[in-house]
Structures are given as C-alpha cells and as structure tokens.
Chain A
Amino acid sequence: MGRITLEKVAKRFAEVEVIPPLDLEIEDGEFVVFVGPSGCGKSTLLRLIAGLEDVSAGTIRIDGQDATGMPPAKRGLAMVFQSYALYPHMTVRKNIAFPLRMAGMGAEEQERKVRAAAEVLNLTAYLDRRPGQLSGGQRQRVAIGRAIVREPKAFLFDEPLSNLDAALRVGMRIEISQLHNRLKTTMVYVTHDQVEAMTMADKIVVLNAGRIEQVGSPLELYRAPRNRFVAGFIGSPKMNFIEGAEAAQHGAAAVGIRPEHIAVSTAEGLWRGTVGVSEHLGSDTFFHVNGTGLGEAITVRAGGEVDLHHGDAVWLTPEADKIHRFDRDGLRFA
C-alpha cells in the first residue's frame, strides 16, 4: 500500500512562501512525476513528503494515517537522491544492507535480501566494491537497491537521472519503468525533463512557482493543457504561440500550435516564411521559420527526408483542429 494525500500543504522559508497551500492525491501503485522548471518547488514538495522538511501548514497522510509530524524513518518511504548519496566508505553490499542493519535485521536475512536486490539490479558482481569504483549508472542502481530492500510504501526519486549522460539516462529511464511494472509500488519522481515525465508517468503534476498548474496523464496534458504554461512546458520542441491579429481571427488572445501539427510545403499554404535554422535528426527535421509576420520564429516538425535548408522559402499550414486557443489570462478554452 502506498497512498499519499496532501491536504492544504504549504511551505514557507522565513517569509518566502515556496509552496502555497496545495492539495494532491497520489494513488496506490501510481507512478507520479512532478515536473517543472528549476526553482518551481518540486524538490521541496518531495522533501516535504519524505519528511526531510517540515510543512508550514497542512496535513500529509500516508495510507490514511496522519504523517505530518512523523520523522522520515517512520514514514516507510525510500528516497533516491540526485547525488545518489551512497556511503563512500562502505561496500555496495553494506550500502544496500544499511537500512536493514538499522532496522536490526539478522545478518542472514540481510544477506538474502541484498542478494535478491542485487540480482534484480544486475549488481551481483559488484557487491564487494566501493561506490568510488563504480560508474554513474551502477551507483544509481546501488541507490535504487538501497531503496528496494526496505520494501517501502512508496519510492521517492529526486532527479535521479540528471547526473547521467544522455545514453545512460534513456537506459535507466526504461529500467525504472520496468521496476515499477514489476514492483507495482507507488513511485513519486521529480524531474525538470518533460521527456522523462511524458515517458514514465501514469500521472504528471506540472508545477510552476510552487503552484500545481495541472494534474493529468501525459496524453491529457499534451492534448488539453489547461493554460499556456503547461502547453509550453509539455511537448518537445515547444508549442508555438501566436498573438495579435492571427489570434484574433480565432477569437482568442493567443493561439498555440505544436510543431508537429504544422504542414510544410514549398508550393502553397497559409503562412509564408523562410527557413532560418534546420535541424536534421534523420528521423525528423525541425525547421525554425522566420519572416512569417507572426512574431517569433515558428518551429515546425517535418519528416526526416524533407530537404530544405537555410534561406529556402516555405509555406506553413496548421492543422485547424489542433489549434489551442488561450484567453487573456493564458487559460485555454475550447
């Protein structure tokens, strides 16, 4: 079981309100991702749940039980830190066994659980090494191993992949998702990377300046962002925003159109412009089109084989039913 409920939880550091009162429900077995730009309070929120910070107001319930004043160790949650926070003077075996040792478990039982965890995480060959002798990915796995052996009610991940290189990050992303599928334990995951959020989450919580902007499944957020912030944050490359006369035609203060919902043509279309930068990725090509008279450059995604370069004239046509309309306050309306 691992159901976490936040009721009117707020956090102030001195006079600065980092997190205004917010409510959030995390269901048992869910993979929830907190995503937002740096400084949005997502890590603080995680630390509040972990008990590493005291809440200024509100209630945190874990499985219906009030955990607001509980010390971290009593909450039954396990955390994986950004720096891994392994104990450098202990071997991998001792690192993983540490929470069991602290719980006063017998040596044989400890060894059995450590072995089981090492098996799952492909660490068996490294049990007698020290963290200093491991690669980044292996250290990450040790940190996860230390969390797994406790069989916690929920796992808390604080930007666990941000210290890894790009290739390893993709690999670990999949490993963590597989782990969740196997363990079915609640996971709360903090990241600033919307790709991680989209690929791993059952439920995404988009945070901005301590406020929850929107909660929903990845595709809900992609298809129906509540406001301009969420629309701009979810999706890569970013959604194009167009204001002024073009937006007024749609009866909105601003309209947004995702790069993948614009068709590119050299012959005809709605908007005319010239290619500024073209990024050829093989599978896709991203064009930054200038001079459309729509304000900033428009980003467009086209197929990998489209052969257009800097200075070429192009026509752009948005898909009419994929245009998002925003009112003066940045809220999306249908």
Chain B
Amino acid sequence: MATAHARGAARVMLSPAVVLLLLWMIVPLGMTIWFSFQRYGLLSGMPPEWTGLTNYRYFLTDPAFFTSIKNTLTLVGGVLAITVVGGILLALLLDQPFWGQGVVRVLVIAPFFVMPTVSALVWKNMFMNPVNGLFAWVAKLFGAQPFDFLAQAPMFSIILIVAWQWLPFATLILLTALQSLDSEQLEAAEMDGAGWLSRFGHIMLPHLTRAITVVILIQTIFLLSTFAEILVTTNGGPGTATTNLTYLVYAQSLLQFDVGGGAAGGIVAVILANIVAIFLMRMIGKNLEA
C-alpha cells in the first residue's frame, strides 16, 4: 500500500466492516447509557421516566457494591496468582522429555474446552459436595469431617474452579515460550556455574516475562466478567460473599427487575474495567515493547 491511491482504496474497502463494528459496539453502549438515566422498573407498571443520576447514586452507595468490587479483585487476583505460578510449574514439567509427552500435552489443554457452567457444576456436585463429593469421600477416608467448600469458603472455591479452567491456557502459552528459549543459553549458564535455581531465575524467568504479561492481560479481561461459575454454584452468596460486579449487575436487572439500576451498574463496570486496563498497560505493558 505504497501509493496514496492504494491507501485511499484500502480505506474505502475497509469502511463497511469498520462502520458495522462501530455500530455493533456503539448502539448497545448508547442504549445502556440511556437506560441508566431512566427510572425503569419492570414490575412497577410505570412508563420509564428520566431521573438523572439517581440510579448511579443508589448503585454506588449500595453496600453490596463495595463488597462486589472487593470480590471481583479477589477473584481476578487469586486466579491470576494460581494460574501464573501453576502455569510456570506445569510448563517446566511438560518441557521435560518423557514418554507420552504429546498425549499428555493435549490432555492438559482439555479443561479449557469444558464450558464454564459444566465445569462449575462438575466441581460443585462431584468434587465439593459435602455428602457425595470426592473431597468429602477422601476426608471421610481419613476419618475427618467433610469440608463444605461452597458454604464455608465460597470465594476460595470459586477461585479454585475458575483457576482450574484457566490453568491450561497459562500453561500452554508459558510452555511455548519456554520451548522457544535457546538451549545454548541454558548450557552457557550451566558452564558459567549457574545451578538450576539460578538458571531459572536469571535465564528462564526473564525469558518468560513477555509470555507472563500476555497471560495476565488476557486473563484479566476475561476474569473481570466471570459469571457462569458464580451463577451455578453459589448464586453470589452466601449473602454477597461471592457477588462480583458482573453478578451484581445481573442481580440488579434480572432479579430485582430494575433495568435502570442494572444499566447504571453496567456503565460503572465498564468504567472500572477501563481503569484496570489502563493500570495494567502502564504496569506491565512495557514488557511487550521491543
């Protein structure tokens, strides 16, 4: 696309797709913003009317809002910690030559292909259930009292479920990064007298920073909107113990039938997600340059 003519033609060709994508984004966003300024309850039987910032005032002063922010950050942070550390360890393990390596690598990706609702239900009913679950069975085997995960440690349980789904993603990206490391660098370090830990700290980990950045960025985007796992396991409870921002918006609009309040919450979530994104890019985005 060297000439001005070619550039012009390219713009014309691209414009339908760009316009379509823009509408696709702008229309729902515009409608959400519009609704967020309306008193619009589905059960009130009243026609929608303009209320200004009332919806925002109610949403932002709701005690559940702060809990949900805290829960969102706990969930994202917890899952990131588990997947990054676990992913590095698994990648190191899978990078070793062993019999059946190819099959094992395919199996490791498997959890990523299970739908979130399905995997959450499997965890809830087959593993964490205090009566019939596998963990309860193990606990009873040792004569211990079964632990009711979702009641006693609901947030931890959800973090565990979500981390299980995302661990393969992190592992896969980190494994490919690890395999792209020049083996001569490791050999050189070995000759230079670096033990395994030094080689990991001085050679492998710096090599992995870019991949870790990618994992953190992509996962954060998806983890901020975790919903299905919460809906099918705890319904945001007990109380609001596992209500994250996404779930709070859902509860506002579809459990309390308050469309206006839900829309306001949605806009707040969009703004918060952007703030998080800016912070992330500032903090670790520079790793992606060069």
Contact = CB atoms under 8 A, between A and B. Distances in A.
A82 B192 contact: no
Nearest to A52: B187
A13 to B, nearest CB: 13
Interface stretch (A97-105, A177-185, A239-247): A97-105
Contact of A73 (B184, B185, B193): B193
Contacts of A83: 182, 184
Interface in A27-45: none
A82 B182 CA distance: 12
A81 interface: yes
A98 B185 CA distance: 12
B145 interface: no
B202 interface: yes
A102 B195 CA distance: 8
Interface residues of A, number: 24
B187 A85 contact: yes
Contacts of B189: 87, 98, 102
B198 interface: yes
B264 to A, nearest CB: 46
Interface bracket on B: 10 to 19
Contact of B191 (A79, A82, A89, A132): A79
Nearest to A47: B187
Given A87-B202, A87-B203, A98-B202, A82 B184 contact: yes
Interface string A109-135: 000000000000000000000001000
A228 interface: no
A173 B182 CA distance: 25
B184 A103 contact: no
Interface in B178-202: 182, 184-185, 187-194, 198, 202
Nearest to B198: A102
Nearest to A73: B193
Contacts of B191: 50-52, 72-73, 77-79
Contacts of B290: 132
Contacts of A88: 207
Contacts of B188: 79, 81, 85-87, 146
B290 to A, nearest CB: 8
B30 interface: no
Nearest to B186: A85
Contacts of A146: 188, 192
Given A87-B203, A89-B206, A89-B207, A102 B187 contact: no
Interface string A124-166: 0000000010000000000000100010000000000000000
B207 A102 contact: no
A243 B208 CA distance: 60
A73 B187 contact: no
A113 to B, nearest CB: 14
Given A98-B202, A102-B198, A85 B190 contact: no
Which of B182, B193, B202 has the most CB atoms of chain A within a 10 A radius of its CB?
B193
Interface in A52-108: 52, 71-73, 77-79, 81-83, 85-89, 98-99, 102-103
Contacts of A87: 185, 188-189, 202-203, 206
Nearest to A99: B192
Contact of A85 (B182, B194, B207): B182
Contacts of B192: 73, 98-99, 102, 146, 150
A103 B184 CA distance: 20
A147 to B, nearest CB: 9
26 contacts: A50-B191, A51-B191, A52-B190, A52-B191, A72-B187, A72-B190, A73-B191, A73-B193, A77-B191, A79-B191, A81-B187, A85-B182, A85-B184, A85-B187, A86-B188, A87-B188, A87-B202, A87-B203, A88-B207, A89-B209, A99-B192, A99-B193, A102-B189, A102-B198, A132-B290, A150-B192
10 residue pairs, one from A and one from B, having the closest CB atoms? A99-B192, A85-B188, A85-B184, A73-B193, A102-B193, A89-B206, A81-B184, A72-B191, A85-B185, A102-B194
Interface of B: 182, 184-185, 187-194, 198, 202-203, 206-207, 209, 290
Interface of A: 50-52, 71-73, 77-79, 81-83, 85-89, 98-99, 102-103, 132, 146, 150
